[in-house]
Chain A
């Protein structure tokens, strides 16, 4: 396969996977028993893939993740766009020092990114409504732990989802 061949389809498939991950994450979080410990699966997919893509593709990954999230979550699109692009910038910065393909590195990225995105979303809500910030520290800890665990255990699976091979920067 020549370089670049099939990348368009791969991005579309990534959008499908990101949408399903987001929907499944929402289903888990919407279940009263699991809500507190539900991971952010959009972020888990982002963290699992970020290390395997070329640096220039990471912002595109962020755009895909933001699009999936906008389509289902009801959050402010501009805030999600800013949030995921900030995550992409952070990931590209970190990969100069850490190999994000390793299980612990990507779990660490998810552990930081999931609560950061939740905090950002809440900050936007609070600022727009003129109200106080309303998320408790315990909620961040649970979200961070659950997202990190899923990325640690299932990151390989997420990075190897069918159809994404053309996006990876080097063979396995």
Chain B
């Protein structure tokens, strides 16, 4: 009876994890780290094949490093708005590291520098407004917390311009901020910005850009002036009346990668700030990676694609950190114990990774948002699920190369994922990812430790 009860408790907390119990069991299983070493002879069974796979995976590293550097450089270049929006401003490049634990409407952004960065400064991506710097992060000196314009307590004065077909017609002023209520029957992923107090109710469409009132007692109000919020649209409200809302030009949920913080052009003492401060391209910086040893094979957990690695929280491993072979992402850390951790390989069902697509001929890299692994097909090809809002491609499919994007803690941007055909249209797409099997075969991957390394203030 007691045994059955104990089993029931273990089963219940297996399904609904309780952090202290998980930690206690991790400690109970600390000897597993030593036991794993007993399997060392297993490393000899296919050592020759593994060495060959490793050689193959590293063969193109130099070329791939150049490719990754070009992508990252292009991404930073395309994050810039047109020149007239930069007049009187200096810009600091940043990268969305993760969403805040408190809210999806707050993002933690790693900046190239925090010099001159203050709460209230606007944050943009290309010509679109993202939100405002809310606070300097308490965790790391180079991170700030940004409140997105989707937050219910963030508002911007806005100007609704007449649509291109009605040039010369009067526009309207309004306040934009927070999310508009969802209309019944709309896709769950769709989000729109709320429009408050429009000055003219007759205006129902047109581009919407920031225009803060001149009288506003906000020293940084002028910096966001002219940046776009999206397109005004209207729908019939089920309860009657018209609901005005802004279809945003950015995917605030999963497509925020490279952003810019706008500073005034000069310091308080009148000396000019550096006009543009770019992020260091450190994705393939060897000091940001550490080789980790795998203790077991990949097929032990049936239906999963897991490995046990000889690195745990006591040696700096963090949940979600990227694992790579050369310039290729091969997986991420799952559960991290004190001495060992569980590696979720890229074909482990449910693993998610932020992605960018790029191809020759594309005007700029496309932020795809989050891709989710759905395993492999019967031919062994990796399958990644993509939920597209349909705004990226006018027609398709388009052959692209996929790379990691930003926004997931522990995953540096620009690691290679593979080649795929990107379909046009909104909805759920399963992408077949072509990549050399040698990368998956490499036994001891490289673990990203970049974010635990020292950072400059």
Q: Is B298 a contact of A72 with CB atoms below 8 Å?
A: no
Q: Are the C-beta atoms of A81 and B25 separated by less than 8 Å?
A: yes
Contact mask A1-43 → B, CB, 8 Å, 1/0? 0000000000000011001101111111111100100101010
Q: Measured between alpha carbons, how far is A59 from B275 in the docked complex, in Å?
A: 68
Q: Is B33 an interface residue (CB 8 A)?
A: yes
Judged by DSSP, the binding face of B is mixed
| Interface residue? B335 (CB, 8 A) | yes
A127 touches B16 (CB 8 A): yes
Contact pick for A23, options B3, B10, B39, B375, CB 8 Å:
B39
Cα(A38)–Cα(B303), bound, Å: 12
- Answer yes or no: A77 CB below 8 A from chain B CBs: yes
Q: Are B25 and A77 in contact (CB under 8 A)?
A: yes
Q: How far is the CB of B67 from chain A (nearest CB, A)?
A: 28
Contact A78 B308 (CB under 8 A): no
Residues of B within 8 A of A127 (CB): 15-16
Contact of A141 with B by CB under 8 A? no
A78 touches B21 (CB 8 A): yes
Interface of A is mostly: helix
Is B306 a contact partner of A74 (Cβ separation < 8 A)? yes
- B11, CB-defined interface residue at 8 Å: yes
* Contact A134/B11 with A20-B38, A74-B306 known, Cβ cut-off 8 Å: no
Whole-angstrom distance between the Cβ of B348 and the nearest chain A Cβ = 9
Verify B299–A28 contact, CB threshold 8 A: yes
Question: B32-60 interface mask toward A, CB cutoff 8 Å, 1 = contact, 0 = none?
Answer: 11011011011001100000000000000
B349, A76: Cβ atoms closer than 8 Å:
no
- Fill in one digit per residue for A53-76: 1 if any B CB lies within 8 Å of its CB, else 0: 000000000000001111111111
Chain B residues near A99 (CB-CB < 8 A): none
Q: Which residues of A contact B296 (CB under 8 A)?
A: 22-23, 26, 71-74
Q: A68-B35, A71-B36 are in contact. Are A85 and B304 (CB under 8 A)?
A: no
Per the bound structure, the CA–CA distance linking A125 and B15 in Å amounts to 8
Which residues of chain B are within 8 angstroms of A16 by Cβ–Cβ distance?
A: 38
Interface assignment of B282: CB less than 8 Å from any CB of chain A: no
* Contact residue among B10, B299, B380 (Cβ-Cβ distance under 8 Å from A82): B10
* Interface range for A: 35 or more
Q: What is the CB-to-nearest-CB distance from B370 to chain A, in angstroms, rounded to a whole number?
A: 14
The size class of the interface chain B forms with chain A is: 35 or more
Q: Are A23 and B26 closer than 8 Å at their CB atoms?
A: no
What separation, in Å, do the CA atoms of A155 and B313 have in the docked complex?
A: 39
Question: What residues on A are CB-neighbors of B22 within 8 Å?
Answer: 78
| A100 shortest CB reach to chain B, Å | 19
By the criterion CB–CB under 8 Å, are B303 and A124 in contact? Answer: no
Q: Which of A102-110, A115-123, A157-165 contacts B (4 or more CB under 8 A)?
A: A115-123
A127 to chain B, nearest CB (A): 4
Cβ–Cβ contact B33 & A78, under 8 A = no
Interface residues of B in 277-316 (CB under 8 A from A): 295-304, 306-308
Is the Cβ of A26 less than 8 Å from the Cβ of B350?
no
Q: Which residues of A contact B242 (CB under 8 A)?
A: none
Docked complex Cα distance between A15 and B298 (Å):
20
| Chain A residue with Cβ nearest B15 | A127
Instruction: Please name the residue on chain B nearest to A133 by beta carbon.
Output: B303
Q: Which residues of A contact B304 (CB under 8 A)?
A: 74-75, 121-122, 125
Q: Is the beta-carbon distance between A71 and B307 smaller than 8 angstroms? A: no
Q: Say yes or no: is A143 at the interface (Cβ < 8 Å to chain B).
A: yes
B4 within 8 A of A: yes
Min C-beta distance of A114 to chain B, whole Å: 8
Q: With the chains together, A124 CA to B334 CA distance in Å?
A: 14
Q: Which residues on the A side are within 8 Å of B10 (C-beta)?
A: 78, 81-82, 85
Q: Is B14 an interface residue (CB 8 A)?
A: yes
Q: Tell me, rounded to whole Å, the shortest Cβ–Cβ distance linking B241 to chain A.
A: 36
Contact B308 A123 (CB under 8 A): no
Residues of B within 8 A of A125 (CB): 304, 349-350
Contact A38/B299 with A76-B14, A78-B14, A86-B7 known, Cβ cut-off 8 Å: yes
Q: Which residue of chain A lies nearest to B349 when distances are taken between CB atoms in the complex?
A: A134
CB pair A15–B38 under 8 Å, yes or no, is yes
Taken together as a complex, chains A and B put the C-alpha atoms of A68 and B35 apart, in Å, by: 7
The residue in chain B whose Cβ has the minimal distance to the Cβ of A25 is B300
Chain A residue contacts of B13, Cβ below 8 A: 78
B195 an interface residue at 8 Å Cβ cutoff?
A: no
Task: Collect the chain A residues with CB atoms within 8 Å of residue B38's CB.
Answer: 15-16, 19-20, 71
Distance between Cα atoms of A32 and B377 in the complex (Å): 12
17 A–B contacts from the bound complex (CB under 8 Å): A23-B41, A25-B300, A29-B297, A71-B32, A71-B308, A72-B297, A75-B306, A78-B10, A81-B25, A89-B4, A118-B302, A122-B302, A122-B303, A127-B16, A134-B350, A135-B302, A139-B302
A-B complex: 6 closest residue pairs judged by Cβ atoms:
A29-B299, A72-B296, A26-B297, A74-B306, A74-B342, A82-B10
Q: Which A positions have Cβ atoms within 8 angstroms of B?
A: 15-16, 19-20, 22-32, 35, 38, 40, 42, 67-79, 81-82, 85-86, 89, 118, 121-125, 127-129, 131, 134-135, 139, 143
In the complex, besides A42-B300, A74-B344, A86-B11, 15 extra interface pairs with C-beta distance below 8 angstroms are A22-B296, A23-B297, A30-B299, A31-B299, A71-B32, A74-B300, A74-B308, A77-B28, A78-B22, A82-B7, A86-B7, A89-B3, A123-B15, A124-B15, A139-B303
